[in-house]
Amino acid sequence: MTALEAPQSDAYINDRSHVFHSWSAQGALKPIVVAGAEGSWFWDENGKRYLDFSSQLVNVNIGHQHPKLVAAIQEQAGKLCTIAPFHANEARSEAARLIAELAPGDLNMVFFTNGGAEATDNAIRMSRLHTGRQKVLATYRSYHGATGGAIAVTGDPRRWSGETGVSGVVHFWGPFGYRSPFHSTDEIQESERALQHLRETIMVEGPGTIACIILETVVGTNGILVPPPGYLQGVRDICDEHGIVYIADEVMAGFGRCGEWFAVNHWNVTPDLITFAKGSNSGYIPLGGVIISQRIADTFRDRQYPGGLTYSGHVLACASAVASINIFKEEGLIDYARTLGSDVIGPELAKLAAKHPSIGDVRGLGAFWALDLVTNRETRAPLVPFNAVGAAAQPMVDLAAACKQRGLWPFTHFNRLYVVPPINTPADEARAGIAIIDEVLELADQHYTG
């Protein structure tokens, strides 16, 4: 009897009867029932194992069921499970201290949320109150969360159904060398032209009306877009010139994913606010937050900050963040993530690019990589169209299905196949996963017309 023929479990039946899933047409779903996980692997109730090359939603940076992290949550649960955010407690205080200690510059205070979207909302609110301005600038190739405010700031098609037209958000083009909106021929030119485009956008919107610019330091779901040299420093300089708050969205790129505690460290840039979530505790318990510069924190020293959450700085979540940060340090995971990218993932993906014509571009750093799949390398025509659905998306659907059939759980978006395993994935497991990608790319090569 195959897995498809196996009788449906109560877990599956109850899920299909009662669980309303995100970003999904409910009738089309056939989710696997996950029974357990460990390290870089998880398995379903039938025992089929999957190498997790998605880190679930690019958040399980430390891997599944890390024993020290599980033990820390259990220990905290035995002492104190929850307390209101207006009290102080040891776990929250220590988590804030450790995070502020890791952050660049004078980012000394932490406002805790339950995830990245709420972090976006609160960072924007802080910026507006600090500056007395309303507008928010964000790039088209971006994702900042799905709450009412965060989805308006998001640049990709997920915002379309939630737009009201009165958000005060202005979108602009960020740099993307491979498909340059500025027709650049190299990284330096791309950086210069992207910054000039930003300056002109600010000019026509009115510098005195703009509260903040929010950028994913390395754009995540929309392509693993590593900024070209000089771009982030240029944004920092523009913000300083006009009194605009610079928000670095590090929800996906932070906490080791790019081989640094925060991705901005690659470019020695200090933003005014950093949003974080996912990798801060690998999603073991929901947690996010905003790391705040002293200058912005001082705005609210004698003025009430009008925002809060019942579970802000939840004790169990903060205890897990403390444990996670300490595990990162004890096990050298920042350095490991950096070398995993430079010595294993990057070189192995380069080999695939030399072999498979359907790979138009390979980009990334640390444990944060993407294959940009094309039907023609000269024209750079994507394997599937932008925001493809139905039959138009089938080539990527087939590619993902082939990965899963072989025991690899992929992360795909539009025409891109991502390589984003837990940052402590052993090198041999990373190579094994890339070997499976090597096999399934034959399907993409069949669509190549160049």
Q: Looking at residue 6, what is its pLDDT?
A: 62
Between 167 and 65, residue with greater pLDDT: 65
pLDDT tens per residue across span 386-432: 999 999 999 999 999 999 999 999 999 999 999 999 999 999 999 99
Domain 67-331 top-level CATH class: alpha beta
> What is the rounded distance in angstroms from the CA atom of residue 250 to the CA atom of residue 176?
18
Q: Looking at residue 288, what is its pLDDT?
A: 98
pLDDT band at residue 161 under the 50/70/90 scheme = confident
* Amino acid (one-letter) located at 150: A
| Average pLDDT score over residue span 346-351 | 98
pLDDT tens per residue across span 256-271: 999 999 999 999 999 9
- 1 pLDDT above the threshold of 50: no
- Domain residue spans in the chain? 10-65+332-445, 67-331
Q: Looking at residue 371, what is its pLDDT?
A: 98
Q: What is the CA radius of gyration of the chain?
A: 22
Q: What share of the chain is helix, strand, coil (3-state, %, to 5)?
A: 45, 20, 40
Residue 391's DSSP bridge partners are none
Q: Looking at residue 3, what is its pLDDT?
A: 46
| Average pLDDT score over residue span 54-62 | 98
**Do the domains spanning 10-65+332-445 and 67-331 agree at the CATH topology level?**
no
Residues 6+ apart with CB under 8 A from 343: 427
> What is the rounded distance in angstroms from the CA atom of residue 250 to the CA atom of residue 270?
12
Got the DSSP string for 153-206? H--SGGGGGG--S-S-EEEEPPP-GGG-TT--SSHHHHHHHHHHHHHHHHHHH-
pLDDT tens per residue across span 263-308: 999 999 999 999 999 999 999 999 999 999 999 999 999 999 999 9
DSSP class of 341:
I
> What is the rounded distance in angstroms from the CA atom of residue 178 to the CA atom of residue 158?
23
Between 443 and 163, residue with greater pLDDT: 443
Looking at domain 10-65+332-445, which of 3.30.70.330, 3.90.1150.10, 3.40.640.10, 3.40.50.700 is its CATH number?
Answer: 3.90.1150.10
Q: Looking at residue 27, what is its pLDDT?
A: 94
| Average pLDDT score over residue span 59-83 | 98
pLDDT tens per residue across span 162-180: 877 767 999 999 999 999 9
* Amino acid (one-letter) located at 209: T
Q: Looking at residue 166, what is its pLDDT?
A: 63
